[in-house]
Amino acid sequence: MFTGIVTDLGEIRSVTARANNLSRLTIFCRYRRADIAEGASIACSGVCLTVVDTGEEEGRTWFAVDAADETLRLTTVGRWKKGSRVNLERALKLGDELGGHLVAGHVDGLAAVVVRENMTDMARFVLRAPPDLSRFIAPKGSVALDGVSLTVNAVEDDTFSVLIIPHTLQVTTLGTLANGDDVNLEIDTMARYAARLMERR
């Protein structure tokens, strides 16, 4: 589990095709190598991936993960290349501060940026969610976009809007988003269960 609070901005070091439709990605980070255990889970722009190797290169730590075909097809991971920036968050530990909301790292789909409105020291984004996911998004509810926990401001049909504060624009990949870009979307688990209960009634 994660909280949607990004703790590092990583950089793709390499992408290598492997057998069985796997891709191995190595990612530069600022975490200490000693603090990254093989088998650990790290959310990479909202996608929970398992560490399979670690190393250091020119004083920089890197870790490697494998992404399966489904992950490559259904998330933005398949578009990453050398130099791509990714939001990183290590798994939540018992006793850690829950600064955002509970995030599983299981991406539900892609949301597309429809409008980016630059405001004084912040930005407003309007995004379009897949039709089968839009019903789970509600005003004042939570979503994770590329692994960043955000509060929904408004909802209209299959679009919703969020406000991004200056700090988040600076320390995550959201600051580089433009109209037409896709982001990994994870809906709030509580919203999914609430909808399921209503359906059963």
Question: Cα-Cα-Cα-Cα dihedral of 66, 103, 139, 113, to 10°?
Answer: -20
Does residue 106 carry a catalytic annotation? Answer: yes
Q: Are 123 and 160 in the same domain?
A: yes
Does residue 50 carry a catalytic annotation? Answer: yes
- Band of the pLDDT at 199, cuts 50, 70, 90? low
20 within some domain = yes
Tokens representing 77 are 């991971």
Whole-prediction pTM value?
Answer: 0.92
Does residue 29 carry a catalytic annotation? Answer: no
Does residue 101 carry a catalytic annotation? Answer: no
Looking at per-residue pLDDT, the higher value among 10 and 99 belongs to 10
123-132 per-residue burial string, b: 16 or more CB within 10 A, e: under 16: bebbbbbeee
Where in the sequence is the domain holding 195, given as residue range(s)? 109-200
Could you give the number of structural domains in the chain? 2
Does residue 136 carry a catalytic annotation? Answer: no
Rounded to an integer, the average pLDDT of 162-183 is: 97
pLDDT at 191 over 80: no
The pLDDT tens digits for 80-116 are 999 999 999 999 877 777 777 889 999 999 999 999 9
Rounded to an integer, the average pLDDT of 117-133 is: 94
The pLDDT value given to residue 196: 65
Looking at per-residue pLDDT, the higher value among 51 and 189 belongs to 51
Looking at residue 134, which CATH number applies to its domain?
2.40.30.20
Catalytic position from the list 16, 68, 194, 195: 68
| Mean of all residue pLDDT scores within the chain | 93
CA distance 127 to 91: 27
Catalytic position from the list 106, 154, 194, 195: 106
103 within some domain = no
Does residue 159 carry a catalytic annotation? Answer: no
Does residue 71 carry a catalytic annotation? Answer: no
Ranking 1-15, 64-78, 90-104 by mean pLDDT, the lowest is 90-104
